[in-house]
Amino acid sequence: MPRILVRPEYLQDLCRRLLQSSGEIRASVSRVQGELSRLDWEVRVQNDIESQALGACRRGQAAADQAEEMARRLWAKVQAFSDADCSAAAGLAQVLRPAAAALGMTLATWAPAVPPEEDAATAPAEQEVQP
């Protein structure tokens, strides 16, 4: 059966990059708006260029909004996955601990991926900065 490997830290990094991109887009839009307001216009040219620049600014704002929304939704999915993964790991540890004890083993010797002092049920939560 195929497996899907999900690495929450990679997805969280993607969220951060989306938010960073959104901020860069907003900064660019702000610079365009600032430069546009500083231009000295001839009336016959102003309307065409100004409408194009304002349209580009609106599209930039929409792209920044969309990137932020994608980051928020992805962050929520990552959190939900991480919470479910921790719950499943804690439940699995509860089930495996008695079985390991019955075999005269510890969880650490039976499943080396689980540190002896710190299994999924007792591991401290990682601190993450949420967007």
pLDDT in tens, 20-32: 999 999 999 999 9
Quick one: pLDDT at residue 60?
Answer: 97
Q: Give residues with Cβ within 8 angstroms of 77, minimum separation 6.
A: 11
What is 8-81's CATH number?
1.10.287
SS3 readout for 56-120: HHHHHHHHHHHHHHHHHHHHHHHHHHHHHHHHHHHHHHHHHHHHHHHCCCCHHHHCCCCCCCCCC
CA angle 54, 20, 60 (to 5 degrees): 15
Where is pLDDT greater, at 47 or 111? 47
DSSP, collapsed to helix, strand or coil, labels residue 126 as coil
| Confidence (pLDDT) at 126 | 45
Sequence-distant (≥ 6) Cβ neighbours of residue 90 within 8 angstroms: 119, 120, 121
pLDDT at 123 over 60: no
Domain ranges of the chain: 8-81
Calculate mean pLDDT across residues 46-57.
87
Q: Model confidence over 65-121: pLDDT tens digits?
A: 999 999 999 999 999 988 888 887 777 777 777 777 777 776 666 555 544 444 444
